[in-house]
Structure 1
Amino acid sequence: MSFTQIKPEQRDWLTQLNNMLEGESFNIKAFQCSMMNGATGWGNETVWYNDDVYIAQANSWFNLPAGNNIYIDFMDNPMKSIMDFSNNVLSQAVCLNGNAGADQGYGRLFANAALDNQGAWGVYSTESSSHVNANASYSGFLHIVWVGSRKDLTL
């Protein structure tokens, strides 16, 4: 696709922008994720791609069960059917809210949500998340976006 530089104070900038965007087409593929290891909630993954680039995201609202170590794989990764994640490091800090012990410092903590060897999304330990109430269940939200070359997709 050919882009034209829009100049400051150009009066027809919107027309020019629309003309450039009309020449570009993106495809979309969406995946529903499954919760695992006693976690509940929802998850999805979406990828937008054209001939040159892709933009992908994973979203999840997850609840981790009480009486469990919170450092578990909580959601599968169906996008691995079209993408090789072996050379990617995808990690996002997530805030986890606990349902018990907030007055003792257990109520809110941070952990890393990341891919576990491409297979599943999991929550993993950080320094701030080492103080966990084993009797509490924890919930959090994952939103991570990444971009790459279209040749990385097997579509």
Structure 2
Amino acid sequence: MEKSLIILKPDAVQRGLIGPILTRLEARGLKFIGIKLSQVSSELAHKHYGVHEGKPFFAGLVSYITSGPVLVVAVEGKDVIEIVRSTVGATNPVKAAPGTIRGDFGVNIGRNLIHASDSPENGDHEVALFFSSEELIRSERSVDQWITE
């Protein structure tokens, strides 16, 4: 099963969009295996965004993600990376399709509301950065048989 890390960034939290965003993700049938409100430390931000270190926007990413509380969510399931990313929409909200989270709620690429893992490998890595194995809860849901074959 694939895992994806979803981060509702400080702008989503401050704008009161946790409920609407989680509702959309849950309505897609995603299985939440971990969820917590967190304040990202500078150290964790550097680890998370390490692939961008040295790029002109790196300092801004770190400053932004550490500027306020975030909601960190781990999801698991078949094709979860693709499902989450199609629900989230394009990185730049201006280019995100209507009906996506960024297309409906976002305005600016610098405040694009949400992070979603971009590959199964990154999903595993990112979930492990933000959650200990003890924090991840795996359980069967009776509805699962009606969501995937």
TM range (shorter): under 0.3
Larger RCO: 1 or 2 (CA < 8 Å, sep 6+): 2
Which one has the bigger strand percentage?
Answer: 1
Q: TM-score, normalised by structure 2?
A: 0.27
Which one has the bigger helix percentage?
Answer: 2
Q: Which has the higher Rg, Structure 1 or Structure 2? A: 1
